[in-house]
A and B are shown apart, each in its own frame.
Chain A
Amino acid sequence: MFEAFKWWRGLLIAFGLLALMRVVVPLPFANEVVIFSIYTIGCSFLLGRVGFISFGQPAYLAIGAYGTGFYLFYFGTNPFVGLLVGIAAGFVAAAIVGPLFVRLRSDYFALVNLALAVIVFYLMQKVLADVTKGDNGLWFLTNIASTPVLDISRPDQFFIFATLVAFFVWAFYKYLDDTLFGACCLATKINEDKLQFLGYSNFKVRLLAFVIANTTTALAGGLYAVYLGFVSPDMTSPARAADPVIVTILGGAGTLYGPLVGTIAYTGMKDVISKLIGNWELFIGFLLVFIMLAGEKGIVGTIEPWLKRIVSRRKAGSRQA
């Protein structure tokens, strides 16, 4: 019982703090943080645990968003069903391209994903303009029906729902770390030959990781669609392709809470810096270079050892007493 509590403790603290944040920051900011951190955790998992860097995350985000968007625009009104459609769309897309992509070397993998993002962008903007309304996007805010118990068509209740979703997503990724599969992911990153010798298939491990990560990304896309009430090709613009990678690095790739901390820092800094000096790129660009040259540990990676030291010292202290 106590062990189980210990396992959940970190998550409860983190998301408790996140929920508290709602009191001090504007609601749109809080919602953005929750969705974006879900968006980033897939990327962080791929980069930090499996060793795949993807510059194509917007593709899966958009697939999820458009899946939800199509449902809410053309077929139904229930946002929960819409979300499920978005997740399913992301899962199917990842399962289709995954077997082709995960065979590639990591450098090609990054660029092929970028290419996929560009393809999705033009698909939504031009080729399928008849159903996607091109650059205008699909607007369905008024289509979304109110739902009983938790009315996620209202931003404040949406925040509660999104935070719960994020909590379970994090619990799921924390659980993954404890499983054999999580160990296999790390093994394929560090030494793919050895994993092969042990009788595991690199291909299967990578494919599963890829599908999991990108289905999570599609979930974030679906949440965006429900929250904003519209989808447009802008979401998958190549110019924004690196956002999740930046946030991942900022937070610390592969750390559990990195995506959360990274997103808060990124979104917060973007707000503040844009207002103060108006030159966001200059700041984030050099910050990124600095983090990489300083040892690429990111915020969480830097703080974690320091936190652990404090905790262990306190424990040691209480034992003496």
Chain B
Amino acid sequence: MDAQLLLSGIIFGLSIGSIFFLMAIGLSLCFGLMRVISLDQLLYYSIGGYLTYTVSVGTGSVWLGVLAGLVVAGITAFAVERFVFRRIYDRDVAFSMITTFGILIGGVGVIKAIWGLVPRPVAMPAGDQVDILGTFVPGYRLIVIVVAILVYVAIWLFLNRTIVGKAIRAGIEDVDHVEGLGINVYRLFTITFIIAGTLSGLAGGLHAPLIMVDPSMGLEVIALVFMVVIIGGLGSIKGTAVSALLVGQVMSLGSLIYAPLAQMAPFAIMLLILLIKPTGLYGSPLLKR
């Protein structure tokens, strides 16, 4: 395998991993703090993608579209938290999974009603190729990677340097103790949910130019995103980042070796990791409530 192919493969894998990472953070935080498996994050991803499409067609700017996408995704997440999640926090995980799956397909129905069934292409911004060590790679993919790194840093700062972030970390350990101190944990839940929805929207917006937006775009990545979260360990940001990188590379480099392997290999890895360590790479055994 020549070096150029390898390098572009790695960049491709990193950009895919970045998208997965952005979506997986939200799922991971929601599970860690609220113990809900929020399948509806996939809906906010689709919303991000579709708004990017509509706004970029209207204004010509994809970036404006991504911005609109993440804002609307965040607002939708807020509404869902208020009207649905508030009622299901004290139920078990299977319950939240089914309920949020209902929200997901209901939302897909809404998207179909608004935008129709036809897949829509989104123009690629920053379409220039960038020269890295003699290999030309698409500039847009590099931007996606940079955005993911910035988000990682921002989330890290938020969780480690702000009091709300510290309260969220404490809540991931034991939410009752946080509430016992007199902290309004429901506000923490709302904040976490909005962050998760916004990041899913961002992921959808950034992914849109690389794929076509279509109503079932969320359902298509659902398995992959969950795999990222599981390999990393539910509730761990660091684990999510590591596993997103891993999955991105496995998919991208795997396809260079033997194409059909690309889609299967990550799942095989997940099974393997779960059998060795049933809580994922960084999942803490303390997570049981």
Contact = CB atoms under 8 A, between A and B. Distances in A.
B and A form one assembly: yes
B105 interface: yes
A282 B113 contact: yes
Contacts of A55: 97
B216 A115 contact: no
A245 B98 contact: yes
Interface residues of A, number: 45
Q: Is the interface of A mostly helix, strand, loop or mixed?
A: helix
B94 A122 contact: no
B144 interface: no
Given A238-B223, A288-B98, A296-B95, A281 B84 contact: no
Interface in A99-132: 100, 103-108, 110-112, 114-119, 122-123, 126-127, 129
Interface string B29-60: 00100000100000000000000000000000
B88 interface: yes
A170 to B, nearest CB: 24
A288 B222 CA distance: 19
Q: Is the interface of B mostly helix, strand, loop or mixed?
A: helix
B109 A280 contact: yes
Interface in B188-240: 216, 219-220, 222-223, 226-227, 230, 234
Contacts of B99: 288-289, 292-293
Pick from B102, B113, B230, B267 the residue with the most CB of A within 10 Å: B102
B286 interface: no
A104 B98 contact: no
Nearest to B269: A115
B152 interface: no
B151 to A, nearest CB: 24
B267 A115 contact: yes
A279 B113 contact: yes
Given A119-B268, A127-B264, A47 B274 contact: no
Nearest to B87: A293
Given A107-B93, A111-B226, 12 more contacts: A105-B288, A107-B97, A112-B271, A112-B274, A118-B223, A118-B267, A122-B267, A281-B108, A282-B109, A282-B113, A285-B103, A288-B101
